[in-house]
Amino acid sequence: MIRATGVRKSFGEVHALDGVDLDVARGRVLGLLGHNGAGKTTLVNILTTVSRPTAGTVSVAGYDVLSQGAEVRSRIGVTGQYASVDEHLTGFGNLVLIGRLLGAGRREAAARATALIEQFDLTGAAHQPSRTYSGGMRRRLDLAASLVGRPDVLFLDEPTTGLDPSTRIALWETVEALVSDGTTVLLTTQYLDEADRLADWITVLAKGRVVASGTSERLKADLGHRAVEVVLGREGDLSTAEASLVAAGFRTHVDAERRTLTARVDTSAAVADVVRALDAVGAEADRLTVKEPSLDDVYLALTQSPAAQRDAA
Amino acid sequence: MAIQEQRLEHPAETAGPPTGVGWRGAGAMTQLGILTARQIQSMYGDRRLALFSLVQPIIMLLLLSEVFGTMADPSDFPHGVRYIDYVVPALLVTTGIGSAQGAGVGLVRDMDNGMVARFRVLPTRLPLVLAARSLADLVRVTTELAVLLVVACVMLDFRPAGGVLGTAAALLLTLVVIWALIWGFIAFAAWLRSVELMSSIAVLVMFPLMFASSAFVPLNVLPEWLRMVARLNPITYAVDGSRKLALGWDPGWSVPGALATSAVLLVVAVCVAVRTFRRPPNE
């Protein structure tokens, strides 16, 4: 449903996107991860026909974004970081407006608006001007607005930035329901848990380039690692404990403020080796936890890799 | 990095039934109607704002007629013409200029609050968004000017020699000129995209247009250099045309002059506005 090949976008000397390839099948969720300035929004702008790529080809829902923009736009929904609603219109009025612009008749547009108002739990406020809505309500209205045309492809550009946890989870559930109905989703986010939960496939963008791409499990297996985190009872033990672990062949990290030592472990057996190494120098552990690989590891490993840093310079 | 080589092993893309409802965008005229109605609705969404926008020209009318009316030396004025009859047709134009700049601010606001961003990803033709803006603002200006005329008639005994027909012709000419000006401000807004810059530009453009013209005093009382500026000012033609039509005089070249300058402004402004508006944000 989304196919991009060799997409570049330059603003003068700055290369916001430097040859990006994407391929997302129907009903899949692609998570696009990256820091601010990695090129996520630039890419979404190109995929949604708002901006023109400097080079490369892009098709969305089977149509070329450059030559068939209107076809693309009638098949996509876009929700950005900020709620795009008309403050002076009611929630219902906003949704009817979008339906009518899409070509629905008065009655059809009203029926669709009513259904969405109900689905997004806005019934009580449907006929209030949207400027009286809370932040969470506005975002729900915004998402509802992007769904009026039952889009084939939904673009969610950092959809939960600035949302409270319960609204965030509710939005995730809505997205999951849409995906189970066959909607294709491209999600950009800085939150790894969000990508982990929603995305079938994750692409990490850094400095306008794809630096990794794979399922969440695959990325974690390849780039993440399991670690043992030890909180020591006495601060004085930190250096001796670390020396002992290094001597035993572990890669370690010390957080003096939290009296915490982290050692990378590749096998379950290695956990016992950590305990033994600590015992050998008489370091007492207050708490010992095994951390499973997370996308955070992947993300940090990639975005702080020498390649990414070289590009940043 | 090995992982970079992987590709998603997804099933062959099936044609499948389209999940969309099959709405592929309304026709151009329907869209223009919907967008214009939305603008008008939105404009009057805040009743207090709507009320103030009506009160403002009335206050200008009262102040100008009372303050300048007492000062203007009747010997400088055309014989037998009262100041109120002289100034109201001009006030139509100057009030219109003041209201026209609201179109620019409104468009910038729509860009800031994300409505324009929303229109960009709908099958909406972007020039129609601008056209709707201009039409909605024309409706707003028409309402304000109509109220102004009613107040002038009822409270200040505005009775120009041209009568109802002459006054209606003056109003119509004013609206044509103002529509071109609205597009001018829309072009500025599409280019500058900032409320602060729009406000500065509005002051920069509006006051010279208003005061270096025959709007408030006859040209012959102005100093020589200002008279030259006023002769080149399209507002002078608009004011002259509006005034002569209302007073029932022969409008002469003022009406074609006003229409020609407006047409030039309109064409330039529409081209600039449509072209610059296509440019996406942050580019």
Q: Can you give the C-alpha Rg of chain A in angstroms?
A: 24
Span A30-53, average pLDDT: 90
Question: Which pLDDT belongs to residue B61?
Answer: 85
Give per-residue pLDDT as tens, A130-140. Answer: 999 988 888 88
Q: Is residue A96 part of a domain?
A: yes
Q: Is residue A302 part of a domain?
A: no
Nearest Cβ partner for A89 among B10, B26, B42: B42
CB A14 within 8 A of CB A4: no
Of residues A25, A38, A243, A9, the one with CA closest to residue A157: A38
**What is the distance in angstroms between the Cα of A74 and the nearest Cα belonging to chain B?**
5
* Chain A residues touching B4 at Cβ < 8 A: 210-213
Q: CA dihedral defined by B65, B202, B137, B42, rounded to 10 degrees?
A: -110
Question: Which pLDDT belongs to residue B81?
Answer: 81
Residues A255 and A155 in one domain: no
Residues A127 and A215 in one domain: yes
Q: What's the CATH code of the domain at A71?
A: 3.40.50.300
List per-residue pLDDT tens for chain B, 283 residues long. 344 433 333 333 433 444 456 788 888 999 999 999 999 988 887 778 788 888 888 888 888 777 777 765 666 677 778 888 888 998 899 889 888 988 999 999 889 888 999 999 999 999 999 999 999 999 999 999 999 999 999 988 899 999 999 999 999 999 999 999 999 999 999 999 988 998 888 888 888 888 888 777 778 888 889 888 887 777 889 999 999 999 999 988 899 989 998 999 999 999 999 999 988 877 7
Cβ-based burial of B224 (10 A; exposed 0-12, middle 13-18, buried ≥19): exposed
Q: Is residue A305 part of a domain?
A: no
- How, if at all, do strands A184-189 and A226-232 pair? unpaired
CA distances from B180 to A16, B127, B257 (A): 39, 15, 14
Cβ within 8 Å, pair A101-B2: no
Question: Which pLDDT belongs to residue B227?
Answer: 86
CB of B3 within 8 Å of a chain A CB? The answer is: yes
Residues A156 and A261 in one domain: no
Closest residue in B to A26 (Cα) is: B13
Closest residue in A to B279 (Cα) is: A51
Residues A71 and A19 in one domain: yes
**What is the distance in angstroms between the Cα of B177 and the nearest Cα belonging to chain A?**
29
Question: Which pLDDT belongs to residue B35?
Answer: 95
Question: Which pLDDT belongs to residue B18?
Answer: 45
Residues A104 and A189 in one domain: yes
Distance between CA A131 and CA B153 in Å, rounded? 39
Q: What's the CATH code of the domain at A276?
A: 3.30.70.100
**Inter-helix orientation angle B163-192/B195-211, to 10°:** 140
Residues A274 and A189 in one domain: no
Cβ within 8 Å, pair B19-A182: yes
Residues A66 and A36 in one domain: yes
Nearest Cβ partner for A89 among B25, B27, B45: B45
Lowest-confidence segment of A15-29, A84-98, A276-290, B130-144 by average pLDDT? A276-290
Cβ within 8 Å, pair A213-B123: no
* Chain A residues touching B42 at Cβ < 8 A: 86, 88-89
Question: Which pLDDT belongs to residue A37?
Answer: 81
A 10 A CB-CB count for B150 gives 12
Question: Which pLDDT belongs to residue A295?
Answer: 67
Question: Which pLDDT belongs to residue B9?
Answer: 39
Q: Is residue A239 part of a domain?
A: yes
Question: Of all residues in chain A, what percent are helix, strand and coil, respectively (each to 5)?
Answer: 40, 30, 30
Which of the listed residues A221, A239, A259 is the one where a domain comes to its end? A221
Question: Which pLDDT belongs to residue A230?
Answer: 87
Closest residue in B to A106 (Cα) is: B34
Of residues A187, A30, A156, the one with CA closest to residue A83: A156
**What is the distance in angstroms between the Cα of A140 and the nearest Cα belonging to chain B?**
15
How many CB pairs below 8 A link A and B? 143
* Chain B residues touching A53 at Cβ < 8 A: none
Distance between CA B120 and CA A50 in Å, rounded? 6
**What is the distance in angstroms between the Cα of A167 and the nearest Cα belonging to chain B?**
21
Closest residue in B to A128 (Cα) is: B45
Residues A188 and A117 in one domain: yes
**What is the distance in angstroms between the Cα of A159 and the nearest Cα belonging to chain B?**
14
Closest residue in B to A10 (Cα) is: B283
Phi/psi at A24 (5° precision): -120, 125
CB B183 within 8 A of CB B133: no
Mark residue A249 as left, alpha or beta (left: phi above 0; alpha: psi -120 to 50; beta: remaining).
Answer: left
Closest residue in A to B11 (Cα) is: A25
Distance between CA A140 and CA A174 in Å, rounded? 10
* Chain B residues touching A101 at Cβ < 8 A: 25-26, 31, 34-35, 119, 122-124
Give per-residue pLDDT as tens, A154-212. Answer: 999 988 877 788 888 888 898 999 999 889 999 998 887 888 889 999 998 888 999 88
Query: Residue type for A282, please?
Result: G
Residue A41: which residues within 8 A CB-CB, separation 6 or more? Answer: A157, A188
> Residue A54, SS3?
coil
Lowest-confidence segment of A24-33, A223-232, B71-80, B249-258 by average pLDDT? B71-80
Band (A305; pLDDT cuts 50, 70, 90): low
**What is the distance in angstroms between the Cα of B182 and the nearest Cα belonging to chain A?**
22
Distance between CA B3 and CA A28 in Å, rounded? 20
Nearest Cβ partner for A86 among B30, B34, B115: B115
Residues A66 and A205 in one domain: yes
Question: Which pLDDT belongs to residue A144?
Answer: 93
* Chain A residues touching B31 at Cβ < 8 A: 101
What is the H or E stretch that residue A204 is in?
Answer: strand A201-206
**Residue A227 reports pLDDT greater than 90:** no
Q: CA dihedral defined by A20, A26, A29, A31, rounded to 10 degrees?
A: 0
Q: Is residue A308 part of a domain?
A: no
CB A139 within 8 A of CB A171: yes
Distance between CA B198 and CA A108 in Å, rounded? 39
Question: Which pLDDT belongs to residue A304?
Answer: 62
* Chain B residues touching A100 at Cβ < 8 A: 26, 30, 34
As a whole-number percent, the residues of chain A with pLDDT over 70 amount to 95
Phi/psi at A187 (5° precision): -115, 125
Q: Is residue A179 part of a domain?
A: yes
* Chain A residues touching B29 at Cβ < 8 A: none
Angle at B173 between CA B224 and CA B139, to 5 degrees: 120
Span A143-161, average pLDDT: 91
Cβ within 8 Å, pair B120-A219: no
Query: Residue type for B190, please?
Result: A
Distance between CA B197 and CA B206 in Å, rounded? 14
- Kindly state the tokens that stand for A43: 């890419």
Best residue in A29, A86, A186 for a mutation probing chain B (most B CBs within 10 Å) = A86
Cβ within 8 Å, pair B23-A152: no
CB A149 within 8 A of CB A74: yes
Question: Which pLDDT belongs to residue A282?
Answer: 84
Residues A207 and A103 in one domain: yes
Domain that holds residue A159: 2-221
Phi/psi at B220 (5° precision): -70, -10
- Kindly state the tokens that stand for B175: 């609206």
**What is the distance in angstroms between the Cα of A229 and the nearest Cα belonging to chain B?**
27
CB B152 within 8 A of CB B234: no
Residue B224: which residues within 8 A CB-CB, separation 6 or more? Answer: none
**Residue A246 reports pLDDT greater than 80:** yes
Q: Look at chain A and report how many structural domains it folds into.
A: 2
Residues A246 and A110 in one domain: no
Span A216-239, average pLDDT: 81
Which of the listed residues A221, A241, A259 is the one where a domain comes to its end? A221
Of residues A180, A176, A148, A143, the one with CA closest to residue A158: A143
Q: Distance from CA of residue B22 to its chain's centroid?
A: 37
DSSP chain B: -GGGG----PPPPP-----S-------HHHHHHHHHHHHHHHHTTSHHHHHHHHHHHHHHHHHHHHHHHHHS-GGGSPTT--HHHHHHHHHHHHHHHHHHHHHHHHHHHHHHTTHHHHHHTTT--HHHHHHHHHHHHHHHHHHHHHHHHHHHHHHH----TTHHHHHHHHHHHHHHHHHHHHHHHHHHHHHH--HHHHHHHHHHHHHHHHHSSSSSS-GGGS-HHHHHHHHH-HHHHHHHHHHHHHHT---TTHHHHHHHHHHHHHHHHHHHHHHHHHSPTT-
Q: Is residue A300 part of a domain?
A: no
CB of B23 within 8 Å of a chain A CB? The answer is: yes
- Kindly state the tokens that stand for B264: 């030039």
Q: Is residue A310 part of a domain?
A: no
**Residue A313 reports pLDDT greater than 80:** no
Residues A41 and A173 in one domain: yes
Angle at A197 between CA A196 and CA A203, to 5 degrees: 40
Cβ within 8 Å, pair B280-A45: yes
Cβ-based burial of B229 (10 A; exposed 0-12, middle 13-18, buried ≥19): middle
